[in-house]
Structure 1
Amino acid sequence: MLGQKSLCRNLNIEPLCAFLQSRNLGRRVPNQGKPPILPPSRKVLYHVVHVPWQSPEDVKELLWRRHVYNNAVISLKEVFRQEIRQAEAAGKGIEAMKEEEDAEFNRLIAENDRINKEKAEARAIREETEWKNTQREILNEIEEALEKRQKIAKEATEEVRAAIARSRDFVDKTNLEAKIIEALENPKVYDFAIDRQGNKYYDPKPVKYQEGVPTRQKGRLFDKTLGIPQNSDEEEQKHEGTKAAGI
């Protein structure tokens, strides 16, 4: 068998040989349909249906049933067509159904709008009632706060007035000399002693001017609760009352 080059050389068809060589050089190996590890599949050209054997009587019965079923389906389709034609003739066709659907849709829209309006009115009434209740609660809280502030201000005013009334007897630069003279003329003693029996023994009132040399206390020599008879507070008051009556 001659090769491609010898054939081209013998036939003197150089352009055709060049074209064939370029076409052969440009071909590539097609992709495999399956991986090489899988075995080749058996090519199926046609499918043969193997129907199980049945008796002729059963075949005739099944065929008869099939014809009856198909005739019934055809009859039902014809009945439906007649009903549709009658409905269209009586004004109940597809256009009438569309009009009924549109009318029902509009009716439902109107009903929905009515329900929404009623709910909106009820909601407005409820919101107004809630706002009034909230406003009332706020006003009550404000009133309670004002009453509390007024009460605090009243108590503070009373305290200030009481302090002003007490300040009349306070010592300041204007009445310092008078208060000193008054304290010297009317001394008041707060020191007292208590014995084991619970009797109180007040110290004598200090004299305005010191007479003689004051005795210095040593230990408990001058303790009034060591058995030295002293006058109690009641006796002191009685003595002062008797002295004042005698004067």
Structure 2
Amino acid sequence: MFQAIIHRGVQVARLLAPRQAVLVEAVRGRKSRTDPVAKSKLGRIKHPPPVDPVEMVVLRERYTDYALILRALRLEFKEAVLRKKYEEETGSLAEEKARQETTEHRALMAWNHQENQRLLQLRLLRIQKETEEAELQRVEADLQRQRQEEEFLRQKEEEVLQLQEDAKNFITLENLDQRIEEVLDNPKNYNFAIDKEGRAVKQTVLQ
């Protein structure tokens, strides 16, 4: 296993090393499994270390007590966790939790109902305001249209009156001779200059 770790480390070093670097694998002075026994250890007999019987008995008793105490603690902790879980699911804690959830649900439903009523009132006020504004705009549009129609009729009446007034000066077959005589009796000379205001500033008599 140690050799596998070393081999893996060498591979990582090769990956991280620069392209032109020279890599040399480190070799420890340890023989392999197939190498023969060293000459200095040919006649050596390996004996296990001595064990004190009294110490062995004491250690065994202490280890037994330690295992029992640790097992008892684990069982006690497990029982406490299971008891708490059982009480949360079926005991008084579960009932209290269910009661709290019911109370919280009722409070949330009441708050939701109040919020819905508040939003309903705001919506009704907004719709009423929009309806009033639309009605006011419609009335203003009707008044504006009525004023435009009245202005149009007034202009048409003025045009009709102006046409009636102008019709008095029209030349017809009945007054043709009379208008010719009036023009001949009252000649007009339009050979004169006017200023920017349209006033005649100079009049030249035709020779």
TM norm structure 2 = 0.49
Larger helix fraction of residues: 2
TM norm structure 1 = 0.43
Which structure has the bigger radius of gyration? 1
Higher relative contact order (CA closer than 8 Å, sequence separation 6+) = 1
